[in-house]
Amino acid sequence: MTQALSGNTLPALSVTALLSGQDPGLPQDIETYVGAGLGLGFVLADLGRPFLSFHVLAGARMPLSERLTGVAELSVSGSSTEVSAPGLSLGVEYRVGGLK
């Protein structure tokens, strides 16, 4: 679950379900995933009418070291008022401590 705050909106909530696993056509240390989710947001000017949003995504994670993981993700999101162009995100995750 994530929370966002932007400009003229109040905090929004979203929930995403992911399916992940190893793709037999890729090296074993690369994990791929797909997901979809829904969100609920509130605009300050019209608090009585929350808006529903959606998002779909696909990505891959690859270990770079014991604690660092590289991530690439393609996503599309939208709401009742608009749909975004596909977005590509690249990032690095850092694992703190000994937990996996």
User: Tens digit of pLDDT for each residue in 7-32?
Assistant: 555 666 778 888 888 788 888 889 99
- Does residue 77 carry a pLDDT above 90? no
Cα(35)–Cα(16) distance, rounded to whole angstroms? Answer: 7
The neighbouring-strand residues paired with 69 are: 63, 93
Fill in the DSSP letter of residue 22. E
Instruction: Compute, in degrees rounded to 10, the torsion defined by CA atoms 3, 38, 100, 59.
Output: -110
- How wide is the angle at C-alpha 78 spanned by C-alphas 75 and 84, nearest 5°? 60
> What pLDDT score does 96 carry?
86
Q: For tokens 């995403």, what's the residue?
A: 16
Q: Which of 61-65, 83-87, 95-99 has the lowest mean pLDDT?
A: 95-99
> What pLDDT score does 3 carry?
45
